[in-house]
Amino acid sequence: MLAALGVDNFKSYRSARLPLAELTVLIGANASGKSNLLEALQMLSWLARGRRLSEILYALKDRQLDVRGPVNRLVHEDNASFMLSARIKGDGQLLGFAVTLGLEAQGLRIAGEALVDEETAAKLFLYQVDRESSSPYSNEIQVAYNNFAREE
């Protein structure tokens, strides 16, 4: 179950965390950011399903992904990247997932990604993007794996 949604530098949000329950209702004045949270959730959902960034970018431009405004308006104010995060409860485990997307002339680029077991005291990283590609024409990144080893 999705337990929380987080956004940093996304659209109208500098930083926000929304705890979620089985039923969560968003109430607020017009232009208070309700739709922006739903757009963040939809974008995170597309990423979680393994959609390629080029496919997401095309969907944004073609209005298949219901995110309002041009791609360069995904970031809050003058930032060059934004982060979407989620806390997921399931099978007796609490996981935290965060992905940072950078906005570049060529489109979107994953600038950072991490999956964390939040129940361990050391916040064990299961994997983490260690270094992004140095070339705008390459999809290669360096990933650091922990091989699921748990420190005690």
- 3-class SS letters over the chain: CEEEEEEEEECCEEEEEEECCCCCCCCCCCCCCHHHHHHHHHHHHHHHCCCCHHHHHHHHHCCCCCCCCCHHHCECCCCCEEEEEEEEEECCEEEEEEEEEEEECCEEEEEEEEEEECCCCCCCEEEEEEECCCCCCCCCCEEEECCCCCCC
- In this predicted model, what pLDDT tens digit does every residue of 54-88 receive, in sequence order? 887 777 777 666 677 667 778 888 889 999 999 99
Spatial distance between the Cα atoms of 119 and 123, rounded to a whole number of angstroms: 7
Q: What is the pLDDT of residue 81?
A: 94
Q: What is the pLDDT of residue 108?
A: 83
- In this predicted model, what pLDDT tens digit does every residue of 110-148 receive, in sequence order? 888 888 877 774 455 656 777 777 777 776 777 777 665
Measured from the Cβ of residue 112, the count of other Cβ atoms closer than 10 Å reads: 17
Q: How far is CA 150 from CA 65, 93, 128, 129, 146, in A?
A: 38, 14, 16, 19, 9
CB of 66 closer than 8 Å to CB of 39: yes
- Domains annotated for the chain, with CATH where assigned, are 2-145 (3.40.50)
